[in-house]
Amino acid sequence: MALLEVESLEAGYGKKTVLQGVSLRVDEGEIVSLLGHNGAGKSTTLKTILGLLPARGGRVRFAGEPWASGNPVGNVRRGIALVPQGRGCFPDLSVHENLMLGAYTRVDRAEISRRLDEIFELFPILAERRSQRAGTMSGGQQQMVAVGTALMQHPRLMMLDEPSIGLAPVLVQRVLETAVKVNRRFGTAILLVEQNIRTALEISQRAYVMKSGAVVLEKPAAELLASQDSWWALY
C-alpha cells in the first residue's frame, strides 16, 4: 500500500523554481532511493515533503490522507521524519539530550521511555555513550544519533539526506546498514538520498533518478544495479 504519494510537486526559493513537477511514491515498509547529481533537487524534494519549504503546486498524500504543505510539525506528528543533510545532531548536547529532542511531539512519558530503550537496544553504542557530548563522537556515530533522534518521533516514513556524506568508505556501508536495521525492526519506510549509488541501490527495492528538478527515471533497484554504466551517464 502506498504510504507517501507525491504528485507533480513544485517548489523553489524566492524567484527560483527548483522542483518542476516531482512525482514519486513510497510504499509501506519500503526502502526507496532518490538519486541524482548535485543540484538536481533531491534535498529540496525532501524539505518540501516534510513541509520546511511550502509547495507551490502539486499534491501529496500521506497514509491515504491529504498532507499539509508548509507544516513540518504537523507532518512530523503524522509520521514523517527527516534526517537532514550535514550534521543532524547538536554537538554540545549529550546523546541522551539529542534523542529527547526527537520526542518533542510526544507526550506519553512511558511511551517515550519505551522508545528510548528500543533505540538503545538497536544501537548499543548510543546507550554506552548516552552521557557523552554528541560532538565528541565519530561521524558515523553522530549519524546514528541523528537517526535515533528521528526515530523518537515514531515515524512511519524516515527520509535520510546523504547520511554517509563525509564518512570514510568503510563507514558508508555501516551507516546504510543502520537504515536497514531501522526498516526491519520498526517497519519504517525509508526514502534515501545517497551519492554512494551502488550501496544505496543494494539496500533499496526501487529507485528514482532526478535531473533539473524532475524525476527522469524510476526502476527496481536490482535493474539499475545491473546496468549502472548505461543509465548514470545519461543524467
**Contacts (Cβ under 8 Å, ≥6 apart) of 101:** 90, 93, 149, 152
Residues in the interface with ligand ATP (CB under 6 A) total 12
Give yes or no for residue 191 binding ligand ATP (CB under 6 A): no
Choose between 95 and 160: whose C-beta lies nearer to ligand ATP.
160
The 10 Å Cβ neighbour count of residue 228 is: 12
- Listed ranges 12-20, 63-71, 94-102, 201-209: which one lies at the site for ligand ATP (CB under 6 A): 12-20
Non-local CB neighbours of 135 within 8 Å, separated by 6+ positions: 91, 92, 142
Q: How far is the CB of 159 from Mg ion (least distance, A)?
A: 12
- C-beta of 13 vs 234, nearer to ligand ATP: 13
Least spacing, CB of residue 43 vs Mg ion, in Å: 3
Q: Which of 26, 40, 89, 221 binds ligand ATP (CB under 6 A)?
A: 40
Contact call for residue 43 and Mg ion (CB under 5 A):
yes
Alpha-carbon distance 181 to 59, whole Å?
Answer: 31
CB closest to Mg ion, residue no: 43
Here the cell at position 88 is: 543532524
Determine, following the binding rule CB under 5 A, whether residue 45 of this chain makes contact with Mg ion: no
Q: Under rule CB under 6 A, which residues in 71-130 are in contact with ligand ATP?
A: 85
Q: Which of residues 126-165 bind ligand ATP (CB under 6 A)?
A: none
Instruction: Give one DSSP letter per residue of 127-196, joined into a string.
Output: HHTTTSBGGGS-HHHHHHHHHHHHHTT--SEEEEESTTTT--HHHHHHHHHHHHHHHHHH--EEEEE-S-
Sketch the per residue contact string, 63 through 92, with Mg ion: x for CB under 5 A, - otherwise: ----------------------x-------
Q: Using CA atoms, how far apart are residues 205 and 222, in angstroms rounded to an integer? A: 7
Q: Note the residues at the interface with ligand ATP (CB under 6 A).
A: 13, 16, 18, 36, 38-44, 85
